[in-house]
Structure 1
Amino acid sequence: MTNATQSLPIPSLLVELLVQELPPKSLKKLGDSFAETVTASLKRQGLAANDVAATPFASPRRLAVHIEHVAAQAADKSVSQKLMPVAVGLDANGLATPALLKKLRSLCGNAACPPVSQLKRAIDGKAEALFLDSVAKGATLAEGLQKAIEETLEKLPIATMMTYQLGDGWSTVNFVRPAQGLVALHGQEIVPVEVLGLTAGRETQGHRFEAKMNPLILRDADSYAQYLEAEGAVIAAFPARREEIERQLKAAAAGGNLDLIEDDALLDEVTALVERPHVLVGQFDSGFLDVPQECLILTMKVHQKYFPLLAKNGALSHKFLIVSNIHPADARQIVAGNERVLRSRLADAKFFFDQDRKKTLASRVAGLDKVVYHNKLGTQAERVERIWAIAQAIGLQLGGNEFAAKASEAAMLSKADLLTDMVGEFPELQGIMGRYYAKHDGLADDVADAIEDHYKPRFAGDALPRNMTGICVALADKLETLVGMFGIGQTPTGDKDPFALRRHALGVIRILIEKEVALPLDTLLEKTADIFGRKINGTPESLSDFIYERLRHYFLSSDEQTFSLGEPADTNTNAINTAAMNRPAFSPQQVDAVLALRPQRLSDVKKRLDAVRAFAALPEAESLAATNKRVGNILKKADVRIEDEINPAFLQAPAEQALHDALSRIVPGADAAFAAGDYNASLQILAALKQPVDDFFDKVMVNSEDEALRSNRLALLARLHHAMNRVADISRLAT
């Protein structure tokens, strides 16, 4: 190879699969998977470097990837292949046995095999073995890309496959949507690969209506995105198309002095529906604004993929944004058509709202007896009875009879809106519509609010119930779900959690901690299990483990700022999000130290963690943590009975007398601070034990041959261990 040839740049590779319209909610994931898997396969085959730049493309009708610097052929590789043990391959004279000759012929094929003398001998395990060293020819790009595409199509995250017939009228293939074209360009050259009955070329398709020409003939791999946008009216890259839509949406909203309701999921879906976005402004009859805005927002988002707009006072505007896939000179007909369709949808929503209000929520409760909740746990009516009983018990503990009565009323009505037409059309509105209908029925505000709030928090960063009635019903609802599902063995596995038990557990945790509800977790779980009676087999220990694991996650990570579909951001939600994002970080050791004791009042956990973090910063902390770990190990291995009381008569060594005196002076103050809930002061006081504890271990033999002395010294250490570990297991801080 000449120096001139060596200096030539390595061409880029473009692979594009043209298909019929792909599922919009899966498009981004499909595009990323397509690009990542093709690139990873080429890297493994030595056709692309590990740090190669790859750009994914995904539009409604195409999946593609552009990869820089892809070799035409991978470098040859030295291969050392084990043949067999020397004892099997060579006879006593060092000549090849029939077994070795047969093995060599199978490996060499038509090529000449090396003589036995050239085989390598090396120790393999406990025996010496024979190895054949050879050079494997590097894969050509055609071979490597064929393998990469086939592997990619097998691994695409496709929920449902289509089976369709090829052009020959006989063959059928399976893919997410019928494939119509394949492009594979290495620089300017076509790579001869085939897949899904298609042979690679350089032709692709632009926008169905606005491309300057169709088909488009691609000149080379590097000009793909620019050429497709300029000549084909398609923005091929998903992020670029999303960014353009977002820019146009914000500009249109600002032009009307309105605010956009941001929704990343909707933005992703719309990005997957258009190739050349064009944002237009529509409007509907302001009379529809009498319908709850949540209903209108969901109608626009879910059914029509429109973006609702808010007035500057936060109220829903009668204007909305449409993302069109075409750029006509006069867009009035497109806007009018979308307005006409939306008018029908909103009329349906208004009809549902008006019809639902003709019956009270209370009158719907009896109908829940006909709605199955779970075949092992009964109907929704039975479920509501359990939630009612749990909410009443919590209400009695938190506020007495009057408070419990309100919680009971809200709990009994909490699921009634499931039987309304509006919730039947929009399940996302359960609870929200219950609040509107409760207020229409003349119920107290705190009861109506609780009907909506008992689902909260519904997602990471969501607001918590706004009043204590809602807190009671929200806890009852989540505890009923957790205890019931764990009680019949319906626990989450891996990434599967069909009953959202992780979310329910996090909801219980957030309410108990952030609303400072001082109720013991074990009591809540046991009371809930009692209400189920024989329907479940008690409260499994695994549920408690599950909740404490979620509690650990809660303190080790920040919640994401997310808003639910159909609910505009409000100040309460933003406040909760801000609090979560600003939550002080605790180390895993600090969290484990506190949770090792399984504190039952979760509202105390944050205070314990603050105290442990402050203690860990003290100069005495590291030594005391290590000593505490040592003490724990000594007590576990004790071979004599450890008495509850320390006998002063057996305190012979000055160091053990000094430790006993220090415990007598220091621990009562630490215990008093602990009882008062001042965990920080409790641990700070105990830090004064460092010197007497160090002296004890330096000068006293715990495991004395005298059993009475040994038992008494162990009792002294047990007293120390108990005093040090009331707030947290301090040994977990030891490095």
Structure 2
Amino acid sequence: MTTKNLLVELFVEELPPKALKKLGQAFGIELVASLNAQNLISLRAETDDDQESTQFFASPRRLAVWVKDVLVQAPDKAVSQKLMPVAVGLDAAGSATPALLKKLQALGADASAVSGLKRVMDGKAEALFYESTAKGAMLAEGLQKALLEAIAKLPIPKVMSYQLESGCELPGWSSVSFVRPAHSLLALHGSEVVPISALGLKAGNSTQGHRFEAAKSTVVVADADAYANTLEKDGAVIASFEARKAEIVKQLAAAAAKVGGGVKPIEDDALLDEVTALVERPNVLICEFEKQFLDVPQECLILTMKANQKYFPMLDASGKLTNQFLVVSNISPADASAVIGGNERVVRPRLADAKFFFDQDRKKTLESRIPQLAKVVYHNKLGSQGERVERVRAIARAIGQQLGGDLLAKQADRAALLAKADLLTDMVGEFPELQGIMGGYYALNDKETPEVAAAVEDHYKPRFAGDELPRNQVGVVVALADKLETLVGMFGIGNLPTGDKDPFALRRHALGVIRMLVEKAPTLQIIDLIARSVPAFGSLIQDQSSALNDFIYDRFAGSLREQGYSAQEVDAVISLRPQKLAEVAQRLAAVRAFAQLPEAPALAAANKRVGNILKKVEGTVEAKINSALLQAGEEQGLADALKSVAARADSAWANGQFEENLKALAALKEPVDAFFDKVMVNHDDPAIRANRLGLLASLHQAMNRVADLSKLAA
């Protein structure tokens, strides 16, 4: 069948910038999926590139999709429909029953179709099947269905209801709902308009370009393939989100090179996506502000320029903020001085506010603000921020004492005392994202030690996956204490994550604790840390240490699988709940090396068998062997081999050589196999039976110090 390329565009008022990229992709994906489901897209070779066969467009005022090789009509399709069991549809003489005739009539067939019915075994009985040919969908009806489905499935958190303009398809006082009011619909199959409608609009071959710089007030698109070029030429709009983004990146780099001196715009993918969603034809301009504002911490200036103005601050070669910044304008006048001057005037009050907040905040010390934390509610079941600070202090002292003695405990206590005080400053009140960061600056201003100031700044770290960890041990202790207080407290009042809801970021806190224990505090043990944290709450909570311990190990397991370890490897190690999380990577490496040994499958299977035997025994089996009760040669052989292997394995274990510990177990394969081939564990004599169980318990203990090897069994 003949195919042509298809272009569909919805032209609307300005779309939400932070959602534009997602909306554009969802619109295109859903529309193409629906066309595919209706067989309206020609079958392509497996080597075809999806990017060459479809293209999504998203600009501030349009959502569009281009699809290659779309059919005018989908191919006819053979349909086989099950009617009923033969015994129900045919009588003893083989004639159609009334039930069968009624069913055929409902399908548009008559009694003449009975002879053409097929008999096919369906389970234990024969059934009658009616075979027919369904006409393929026409493009107009198929695209209409696809467009409505794509609109309905757009990820819009909140829709607008608006009155239709006069002259629309639905006259009178009709209204529709969409993310933003829609003004036109374009649908071209090659050069032909596809007669579809949506949101009160009929499809045509025209759209609108840039509000101010379009060469033509109405942009007429000759055919589907000419869409992007025509819109850019006549409409002054770069329709492709990715092409517009690439153009902005190119212009940002060119502007920075023009400034010289090794400066570069700040890298921020979220900001870049948002700005891409705000402009239709980007024009990057160089602006500047007064150097006096550089006395304010650069984090404040950067945040206000990015969050409030969508500007790109510029950093010098050492990463220090300069007084120049870049603006991505949506217009390109011959003389840009008015645009530059306007943006410079707009940013000045923002920076002045930041300077004012910074100067005012420094008039009071952090310590003087602490009593006011008693008036700030943290959680209705866990009290105020002031009470929370005292709990964090108690936990920090305990961890600091364990990790570094009196000095570290004292420093951690001081940092924990001051850590939340910046919540009451004007700067953090205006920019909550700066909590901790401003605390560090204000602590230095108050003449606190550099170690304490750094800990105040770092105690929220890591804030997200891949974030930096605290720089010094004081920061590590306070960050651990802060996250453990949250975890223990929330678990203690039953406020746990459910599904994708995690309002207190407990999953992130757990991963932060894991990273710090692995990378910064390898000697600390997780169950001990949780136990040290619970007393700080007194009678406010129920002790949920066991559930919290499981939660943390579950997060750790998930993280390890994301790093490329297999589910078997991770389960083998994590199921033993190793307390020193820093050892886990080494244990995983040892398990992976052990799995490559030829003896590994048999030993893993034997280990699983031993575990199952021991589980069935009532009471506790002591890992103890009485040599005088060993009877069979294979029984004695296993005991001797275990004694020999245990010496080497214990030595390797004591020296932290996990791989050597597991490799030593390879010598047990043959005696273990022989034992299970020749020895009956459940001997009639209770003493012999207990001794054999003790032998197996000793074997199980020796084999499962690094990991539970039964998890490797097929």
CA contact (8 A) 1:48 1:71 kept: yes
* 1:396 aligned residue (391, 401, 406): 401
Tell me if structure 2 keeps the 8 A contact 1:586–1:613. no
Structure 1 residues 642, 438: closer, same or farther in 2, change over 3 A? closer
Please give the secondary structure, in 1, of the residue aligned with 2:79.
strand
Q: Does 2:711 correspond to 1:711? A: no
Q: Flag the 1:483–1:16 CA change in 2: closer, same or farther, 3 A.
A: same
SS at match of 1:135: strand
CA distance in 1, matches of 2:131, 2:591: 61
Partner of 2:225, secondary structure, is coil
Q: What is the match of residue 81 of structure 1?
A: 81
Residue in structure 2 matched with residue 69 of structure 1 by the alignment: 69
Q: CA offsets per residue over residues 644-686 of structure 1, 9 Å max, x none?
A: 4322122222222122122223313422432343333433333
Q: 1:45 corresponds to which letter in structure 2?
A: Q
Q: Give the secondary structure class of the aligned counterpart of 1:408.
A: helix
Match of 1:250 among 240, 253, 261: 253
Name the residue aligned to 1:106: 106
1:410 aligns with 2:403: no
1:364 pairs with 2:382: no
Contact 1:150 1:195 in 2 (8 A): yes
Q: Does 1:693 align with 2:672?
A: yes
In 1: Cα distance, 2:237 partner to 2:111 partner: 56
Aligned match for 1:290, one of 284, 292, 295: 295
In structure 2, give the amino acid aligned to 1:625.
A
For residues 69 and 502 of structure 2, the distance between their equivalents in structure 1, rounded to whole angstroms, comes to 43
- Structure 1 residue aligned with 2:24, among 27, 31, 40? 31
**622, 627, 631: which one aligns with 1:648:** 627
After superposition, give the CA deviation of every residue in 1:617-668 in whole Å (9 maximum; x if it has no partner). Answer: 4444343323222322333345898454322122222222122122223313
Aligned amino acid, residue 129 of structure 1: A
Q: In the alignment, is the contact (CA less than 8 A) between 1:43 and 1:50 conserved in 2?
A: no
Could you tell me which of 338, 347, 350 is aligned with 1:345?
Answer: 350
Contact 1:628 1:730 in 2 (8 A): yes
| 1:188 correspondence with 2:181 | no
Q: Gapped runs of 5+ residues in structure 1? A: 1-5, 559-584
Displacement of 1:259 in angstroms is 1.8
In the aligned structure 2, how far is the partner of 1:537 from the partner of 1:265? 41
Q: Which moved more, 1:158-167 or 1:724-733?
A: 724-733
The DSSP-based 3-state class of the residue aligned with 1:687 is: helix
Does the 8 A contact of 2:286 with 2:324 survive in 1? yes
2-structure distance, mates of 1:18, 1:120: 52
Distance 1:698 1:196, change over 3 A: same
Matching residue's letter, 1:421: D
Partner of 1:164: 162
Q: Distance in 1 between matches of 2:620 and 2:571?
A: 30
* CA RMSD, Structure 1 to Structure 2 (Å): 2.1
Please name the residue that 1:151 is paired with: 149
Change over 3 Å in CA distance of 1:175–1:523 after alignment to 2: same
Deviations 1:251-277, CA, capped at 9 Å, x for gaps = 211222212211111000000001101
Trace 1:318-329 onto structure 2 (pairs within 5 A).
318-329=323-334
Distance 2:421 2:315 in 1: 30
2:439 is the counterpart of 1:441: no
* Pairing 1:594–2:573 present: yes
> Can you list the C-alpha shifts for 1:389-412, whole angstroms capped at 9, x where unaligned?
111111121122332122111112
Question: Superposed, which structure 2 residues align to 1:538-617 within 5 Å?
Answer: 538-539=543-544, 541-558=546-563, 586-617=565-596
Give, in angstroms, the shift of residue 67 of structure 1.
0.2
String of CA shifts for 1:410-452, please: whole Å, max 9, x gaps: 1121111111111111111000000011111111111111111
Which string of whole-angstrom CA distances, capped at 9 and with x for unpartnered residues, describes residues 538-579 of structure 1?
Answer: 215432222112111332334xxxxxxxxxxxxxxxxxxxxx
Offset, 1:468: 1.2
Aligned to 1:44: 37
| Aligned counterparts of 2:118 and 2:95: Cα–Cα separation in 1 | 14
Equivalent-residue separation in structure 2 for 1:347 and 1:133 (angstroms): 78
Alignment size in residue pairs: 700
Asked if 1 retains the 8 angstrom alpha-carbon contact of 2:101 and 2:110, the reply is: no
- CA contact under 8 A between 1:530 and 1:538: conserved in structure 2? no
Q: Equivalent residues in 2 for 1:452-491 (5 A)? A: 452-491=457-496
Query: Residue in 2 aligned with 1:571?
Result: none
2:522 and 2:691 map into 1 onto residues whose CA distance is 42
Q: Check whether the contact 1:552–1:592 (CA below 8 A) recurs between aligned residues.
A: yes
Q: Displacement, 1:715?
A: 1.8
Deviation at 1:471, TM superposition (A): 0.9
Identity %: 63
- C-alpha separation in 2, matches of 1:360 and 1:172: 58
Q: Which residue of 1 aligns with 2:707?
A: 728
Task: Please tell me the residue identity of whatever aligns with 2:322.
Answer: S
Instruction: Read off the aligned partner of 1:180 and give its amino acid letter.
Output: H
Residue equivalent to 1:303: 308
Deviations 1:562-599 (A, max 9, x none): xxxxxxxxxxxxxxxxxxxxxxx543322221111011
- Is 1:18 equivalent to 2:21 in the alignment? no
User: Is the CA contact (8 Å cut-off) linking 1:643 and 1:712 kept in structure 2?
Assistant: no
Q: Residue 590 and residue 101 in structure 1: after superposition, are their counterparts in 2 closer, same or farther (change >3 A)?
A: closer
Partner of 1:138: 136
Provide closer, same or farther for how the CA distance between residues 665 and 103 of structure 1 changes in structure 2, counting only shifts above 3 A. closer
Deviates more, 1:92-101 or 1:667-676: 92-101
